[in-house]
Amino acid sequence: MTAPLAATAVDPVTLAVLKGRLEQIADEMDATLFRSAFNPIIAEARDACHGIYHPETGATLVQGTTGLPIFVGAMAFAVKAVIDKVARDGGLEEGDTFLFNDPYDGGTHLNDFRLVRPIFRCGVLFCWLASVGHWLDIGGNVPGGFNARATESFQEGVRIPPVKLISHGKINDDIIAILSANSRVPQSNFGDLNGQLNALDLGEKRLRGLLDDYGDAVVAAAFDAFTARAEKLMRETLAALPDGVYAFEDKLDNDGVTDDPLTIALDLTIAGDRMTLDFSRSSPPCAGPLNIARSTAVACCYVALKHVFTDVPANAGCLAPITFVIPDTTLLGVSAPKPVGGYTETILRVIGVVFGALAEAMPDRATAAPFGTINALSVAGHRADGSRYVMFSFFGGGLGGNPETDGLNHGNNPISMATIPPAEILEASYPVMFTQWALRPDSGGPGLHRGGLGAVYEIETLSENGADVFLLGERGKFAPFGVNGGEPAALNRFVWQTDEGEKSPPLASKITDVKIAKGRRVRLETPGGGGWGVPDARPAETVARDVRLGYVTPQAARERYDAVVSEDGTLDVAATRALRAGSAA
């Protein structure tokens, strides 16, 4: 029941025109949702994505340029989940739209809701459109869903398998009623669902217009050509790398339940124009929420590769020459009901490990580790008028040093393009006051190209009865690594004030339900990025400038760069030369 995949050859000019127009359709879908969404995780942080997918395989055909990078990799699995359901249960009709959030069947975590819609032409399935967005709350033990102590997905929220939200053009209000009854913020979820439907409606309208203009056969042929082109580019890129096995591993602090480190180990093999990513040596599934499903693991490898090979277009073709080995005996290939709510931390570590292994395959283009933790922080309580509030946000850190530049100060994570809400918006919305919103000195990993700086966010609670604080973070024990002789960045650090002085979480960067009294503060200090190249090779004048600007303290300049610099940034040339000569010898 699928469209005949056309043998029509499309001329290169029409192909280029269609590429732009199709990407624009996906971008317009993104824009529609961003502007009409209710929760800031979509509206500001852009935790959403849209695209066009293959009728039979669900493979990504066209992807927008503004969607959340991690979803770009994950969506094909979501569409496949619906294709499998239809194959099993039948009953696919024009005008249907499926909804689900099942993380083990093409999802990521329970907050991410997928809408998948078939597009028929002359009664035949031509392709799929899909939309995904992060909803604010879908039940579970912790508001917002980031339950650091979950040991089963039932403690993380409600799991919905692929169901028909819209059947032949008619919306099933019963499903909406079920969703509403299972969220702390049903109105917000309803607003976001409407935004996603708006986006699909618009995408369908635009796509039909384009098919009418160019003809179905030409567009189908163009899809094939895009996929072939991405595969060709990826093969050429891989063929240019030296054959070999490149091993790299990194660790997560713990799973939030037991305080044991978790290993993410990768053996990356380049053989001709093919690559194998083998994660077999990674830790087994864990008790807490740091597991991920296989589809999520593949999606984040895709994100890592796109950051390194930026020329390769975003469609399924680029994954064709890659073999994934992700056994279900590891924490990267779990199934229900293993908890996955902390997936953001795990995928950041997987992405870092891919960077690390590739750095050994291509040292001239190596990138040091980015800060590598999402730091999902909730501050919750009651306002003076008794109403309940939850301030929930992700925080920034430094990006890694690289062949061209020092790492970027205070950037976002590679899985997203999210911007942080303004402090003034947070203060206007919640009874909190920021006492620091600053760069964190010495947080960037030393190197010829220094890692970017992380940040210090210090928050005082203003509400009479204080506040409850939750944090799901990482990098409290294992710092972002440097490459090519560069050194690691500073660790993540979180403290809160009590009558007995400052306290920090026993599980490094994960806490649930810590009570903070009015007038007390919490402080989050985020990691920078790792360093690139040997620190002693950084010109002493540049280190002196770092000291003058307060990026590096005089003490760190001496200990980690062998540069003698006074508080005001004056370089002691002779002492530095002597120190550096001593280290070299």
Partner 1 sequence: MSARGGIVGVDVGGTFTDLFLFDEAERRFTTAKVPSNRGDEAVGFLDGLRKLGDVKGFSSIVHGTTVGTNALLERKGAKIGVITTRGFRDVLEMRRRDRPRTWGLWGDFKPVAERDLRLEVEERVLADGSIRTPVDPEAVKAAARTLLAKGAQAVAVFFINAYANSANEKAAVEAVRAVWPNEDVVASFEILPEIREFERASTTALNAYLQPVVGSYLGKLQNALDGEGFKGSFHIVQSNGGVMSTATARRLPVRTALSGPAAGVIAAAAIADAAGFANVITGDLGGTSFDVSLIADGRSVLAAQTTIDFGMVIRTPMIEISTIGAGGGSIAHVDKGGLLQVGPESAGSRPGPVCYGQGNDRPTLTDANVVLGRINAERPIGGKLERLDVEAAKAAIARHVAEPLGIEVMAAAEAVVRIANARMAGAIRLVSIERGHDPQKFSVMPFGGGGALHAGALVGEVGLASALVPRFPGITSALGCVIADLRHDQVRTVNWMLDALDAAALDRLMVAQGREAEAVVAGAGVAVDRIDVLYELDMHYMGQTHTISVPLPVTLAGESTGISADIVRQAFEAAYKTSFSRLLPGIPMRIVTLRTAAVGRRPPFDLTALAPSADATLDAARRGTRPVWFAGGWHDTAIWSRLDLPVGAVVVGPAVLEQPDATTVVDPGLTARVDALGNVVIERAK
| Interacting residues with partner 1 between 353 and 372 (CB under 8 A) | 367, 370
Choosing from 203, 407, 480, 488, the residue that interacts with partner 1 (CB under 8 A) is 407
Residue 542 is a binding residue for partner 1 (CB under 8 A): no
Residue with Cβ nearer partner 1 (230 or 522): 230
Residue 417 is a binding residue for partner 1 (CB under 8 A): yes
Q: Which of residues 296-315 bind partner 1 (CB under 8 A)?
A: 306-307, 310-311, 313
Task: Please name the residues in contact with 365: beta carbons below 8 A apart, sequence gap of 6 or more.
Answer: 308, 358, 403
* Region of 14-22, 79-87, 97-105, 373-381 interacting with partner 1 (CB under 8 A): 14-22
Distances (CA, A) of 446 to 406, 477, 480: 10, 18, 11
User: Residues 480, 530: contact at Cβ < 8 Å?
Assistant: yes
What would the x/- binding string for partner 1 be over residues 225 to 244, using CB under 8 A? ----xx-xx--x--------
* Region of 38-46, 93-101, 113-121, 322-330 interacting with partner 1 (CB under 8 A): 38-46
Residue with Cβ nearer partner 1 (4 or 20): 20
**453: its two tokens:** 């700086």
Residue 273 is a binding residue for partner 1 (CB under 8 A): no
Q: Which of residues 131-190 bind partner 1 (CB under 8 A)?
A: 187-188
* Region of 47-55, 91-99, 166-174, 544-552 interacting with partner 1 (CB under 8 A): 544-552
End-to-end CA distance of the chain: 73
CA 45 – CA 417 distance, rounded (Å): 7
Residue with Cβ nearer partner 1 (256 or 530): 530
CB of 309 to partner 1, least distance (A): 9
Residue with Cβ nearer partner 1 (209 or 244): 209
CB of 409 to partner 1, least distance (A): 6
471's torsion region: left (phi>0), alpha (psi -120 to 50) or beta? beta
CA 131 – CA 31 distance, rounded (Å): 12
Closest CA to 319 of 342, 295, 337: 295
337's torsion region: left (phi>0), alpha (psi -120 to 50) or beta? alpha
CB of 226 to partner 1, least distance (A): 9
Looking up tokens 């560069």 gives 486
CB of 20 to partner 1, least distance (A): 5
Residue with Cβ nearer partner 1 (216 or 546): 546
Q: Which residues of 506-519 are buried (b: 16+ CB within 10 A; e: fewer)?
A: ebbbbbbebebeee
Residue 408 is a binding residue for partner 1 (CB under 8 A): yes
Number of residues that bind partner 1 (CB under 8 A): 86
Residue 15 is a binding residue for partner 1 (CB under 8 A): yes
3-state SS, residue 499 = coil
DSSP secondary structure, 392-407, as one string: EE---BPPPP-SSSPP
Residue with Cβ nearer partner 1 (191 or 256): 191
* Region of 264-272, 337-345, 372-380, 403-411 interacting with partner 1 (CB under 8 A): 403-411
CB of 280 to partner 1, least distance (A): 27
Q: How many CB atoms lie within 10 A of CB 429?
A: 12
Residue with Cβ nearer partner 1 (105 or 406): 406
Residue 520 is a binding residue for partner 1 (CB under 8 A): no
CA 186 – CA 387 distance, rounded (Å): 16
Number of alpha helices (DSSP H) and beta strands (DSSP E) in the chain = 12, 20
Q: Strand pairing partners for 532?
A: 449, 483
Residue with Cβ nearer partner 1 (40 or 143): 40
Angle formed at CA 141 by CA 69 and CA 504, multiple of 5 degrees = 80
466's torsion region: left (phi>0), alpha (psi -120 to 50) or beta? left
Residue 386 is a binding residue for partner 1 (CB under 8 A): no
Q: Strand pairing partners for 226?
A: none
Q: Which of residues 67-86 bind partner 1 (CB under 8 A)?
A: 69
User: Residues 309, 303: contact at Cβ < 8 Å?
Assistant: no
* Region of 21-29, 92-100, 112-120, 342-350 interacting with partner 1 (CB under 8 A): 21-29
Choosing from 267, 427, 468, 541, the residue that interacts with partner 1 (CB under 8 A) is 427
Residue 396 is a binding residue for partner 1 (CB under 8 A): yes
Residue with Cβ nearer partner 1 (285 or 397): 397
Choosing from 5, 6, 31, 362, the residue that interacts with partner 1 (CB under 8 A) is 31
* Region of 164-172, 270-278, 425-433, 494-502 interacting with partner 1 (CB under 8 A): 425-433
CA 430 – CA 452 distance, rounded (Å): 30
Q: Strand pairing partners for 427?
A: none
Query: Phi and psi (nearest 5°) for 527?
Result: -70, 155
Cis upstream peptide for 421 (omega within 30°): no
Residue 194 is a binding residue for partner 1 (CB under 8 A): yes
Q: Which residues of 152-179 are buried (b: 16+ CB within 10 A; e: fewer)?
A: ebebbbbbbebebbbeeeeeeeebbeeb
* Region of 16-24, 100-108, 331-339, 494-502 interacting with partner 1 (CB under 8 A): 16-24
Residue with Cβ nearer partner 1 (320 or 438): 438
Residue with Cβ nearer partner 1 (400 or 476): 400
Looking up tokens 């340029």 gives 65
CA 138 – CA 144 distance, rounded (Å): 7
Closest CA to 322 of 302, 341, 339, 349: 302
Choosing from 186, 337, 485, 550, the residue that interacts with partner 1 (CB under 8 A) is 550
Choosing from 262, 266, 293, 399, the residue that interacts with partner 1 (CB under 8 A) is 399
What would the x/- binding string for partner 1 be over residues 431 to 470, using CB under 8 A? --xxxxxxx------------x--x--x---x--------
Residue 549 is a binding residue for partner 1 (CB under 8 A): yes
CB of 364 to partner 1, least distance (A): 13
3-state SS, residue 492 = coil
Residue 210 is a binding residue for partner 1 (CB under 8 A): no
Residue 404 is a binding residue for partner 1 (CB under 8 A): yes
CB of 277 to partner 1, least distance (A): 19
Distances (CA, A) of 179 to 50, 58, 99, 194, 421: 22, 26, 11, 13, 27
